[in-house]
């Protein structure tokens, strides 16, 4: 059964537009501060509720990168993420599915479950932090 379509909301579309223009994978507080530049009287609760609605409708992604904070991503095309262990930056990685499919196939071979997809989170040091170190 398909999810019911949400009624249009200027606030929700503004929140989506703000997130769409931010490739840093911000958390709700950062999104809230940026949305307030457009809608000064919006509440944190409204931003949080609408981010969750957008995620439930699969228009955005919720990301848990292990830092205790939920991050959001408006890019919903298949991709992966790299988290810098030094500065915490989250970067999109676009990997050829020819790299990932054999991994999923191997996991499928060793378990009795049916694997549909994989969420792979890479950790390391970003190029900016590497540059600072050298």
Contacts of 76 (CB under 8 A, 6+ apart): 58, 59, 60, 61
The strand pairing partners of 92, in sequence order, are 81
Residue closest to 41 by CA, chosen among 1, 69, 5, 14: 14
Block residue for tokens 């809608």: 39
Q: Which residues contact 35 (CB under 8 A, 6 or more apart)?
A: 14, 15, 18, 42, 47
Confirm or deny that 84 is annotated as ligand binding. yes
- φ and ψ of 128, to 5 deg: -70, -45
111 labelled binding-site residue: no
Task: Return the biggest CA–CA distance within the chain.
Answer: 55
Binding residues: 84, 87, 126, 129
Residues at the binding site for Zn(2+) are 84, 87, 126, 129
């Amino acid at each position: 059964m398909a999810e019911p379509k949400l009624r249009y909301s200027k606030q929700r579309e503004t929140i989506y537009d703000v997130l769409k223009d931010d490739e840093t994978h911000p958390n709700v507080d950062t999104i809230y501060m940026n949305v307030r530049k457009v809608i000064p009287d919006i509440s944190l609760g409204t931003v949080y509720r609408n981010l969750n609605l957008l995620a439930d409708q699969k228009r955005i992604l919720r990301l848990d990168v292990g830092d205790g904070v939920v991050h959001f991503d408006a890019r919903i095309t298949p991709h992966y993420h790299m988290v810098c262990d030094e500065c915490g930056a989250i970067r999109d990685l676009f990997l050829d599915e020819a790299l990932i499919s054999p991994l999923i196939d191997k996991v499928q071979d060793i378990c009795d479950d049916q694997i549909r997809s994989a969420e792979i989170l890479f950790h390391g040091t970003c190029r900016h932090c590497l540059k600072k170190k050298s």
